[in-house]
Amino acid sequence: MPVVNFKEYNEMLDAANKGKYAYPAINVSNMETANAALLGFAEAKSDGIIQVSTGGGQHASGSYVKDMVLGAITLAEHVRRMADRYPVRIALHTDHCQPGKVDSFMKPLIAETAKRRAAGLPNLFNSHMFDGSELSLEENMKIAKELMVLCAANEIILEVEAGVVGGEEDGHDTSNTPADKLYTTPEDMLGVYDALNGLGGRYMFAATFGNVHGVYKPGNVKLKPTILKDGQDALKKKYNARFDLVFHGGSGSTQEEIFETLDYGVVKMNVDTDTQYAFSRPVTDHIFKNYDGLLKIDGEVGNKKAYDPRAYLKLGEKGMAQRIKEACDNLRSTGKTLHKA
């Protein structure tokens, strides 16, 4: 079906909250990874979120152009065209825009959506993430409020973050963050609600509870999911409200920890590091098994069937799709598509 509209996206989030499941949010950077995401969701019969980071957008525009906005637009348009052929709901999202890139990435994409809407066309992206976690909560929310108004006016859902997800992703390194900053307090969570409630529209909140970007063995990441419960309890007590929560940095989390976060209101979980590996692993296998055919050595001509990029990229697509199906199982979204045939 077509990429969702605002009403359909809200239905997705409401269903996840009510059913205590979450949508994998899959980072893509080219047509192959975008197709893998669509394939994985379709085979899992799960709705899902496909997202583009600043680095992913820049990569998609090519090493000569290096334009993160143009690349993001190109990927979004590809997904929009292809999603029509898949029997699941797909939402388009942008990931981790730090304050220094708001004017050069997020605002131009919002403006592109506004231009499309004025022409009677659907939104380009359904949601955007502002990552102001490097700022004080006051500074973070000052920018978030401005973006919330822009997003609400264009039926775009905003994602915000308070607290810091450790590790490194897409060139943004928070490895040296003090431990206490890796945990969002109930006071911070109430501060986010106070700042954004009443501005119209809808937002998701990436609260941090020890999660770390990157890949780690199970048990190496010290999560405290009860932080999410504490924040939700404080919000319910004071305002009788509930957050749509987002889980970042989930690699290395146990299944029990993931299930616990779903009970506390997580409706979206970013999946990137694991899908990168799942794409690259079968490509590496192909290269090792067909090494002689991939290279023209000692005057030989190689094997075109081995070095044709389509030969190994389709293997990467299938490998990544399989990992996405696992993510749907882990997040309980398998078989729960809202799409009506």
Is the distance from CB of 17 to CB of 267 less than 8 angstroms? yes
Using DSSP, state whether 161 is helix, strand or coil: strand
**All domains of the chain in start order, with CATH:** 6-275+320-330 (3.20.20.70)
Average pLDDT over residues 207-225: 65
Cβ-proximal residues to 304 (8 Å cutoff; 6+ apart), any chain: none
* Residue 326 in tokens: 């696992």
Residue 314: name the closest of 36, 27, 79 by CA. 36
Question: Across the chain, what does the average pLDDT equal?
Answer: 92
Of 75-79, 89-93, 172-176, the one with minimum mean pLDDT is 172-176
Whole-structure pTM over 0.95, yes or no? Answer: no
Q: Quick: pLDDT tens for 139-177.
A: 999 999 999 999 999 999 999 999 755 444 455 444 444
Average pLDDT over residues 260-278: 96
Catalytic: 95? yes
Is it the case that residue 341 has pLDDT exceeding 80?
A: no
Q: Quick: pLDDT tens for 303-312.
A: 999 999 999 9
What is the reported pLDDT for 246?
96
Of 107-116, 135-144, 210-219, 241-250, the one with minimum mean pLDDT is 210-219
* Residue 55 in tokens: 């680095």
Is the distance from CB of 30 to CB of 316 less than 8 angstroms? no
Residues in a beta bridge with 91: 49
Under the banding of pLDDT at 50, 70 and 90, the label for residue 223 is: confident
d(CA 14, CA 1): 19
What is the reported pLDDT for 167?
43
Catalytic residue among 47, 95, 131, 272: 95
Using DSSP, state whether 196 is helix, strand or coil: helix
d(CA 333, CA 20): 9
Is it the case that residue 209 has pLDDT exceeding 80?
A: yes
Is the distance from CB of 71 to CB of 30 less than 8 angstroms? no
Residue 209: name the closest of 229, 234, 187 by CA. 229
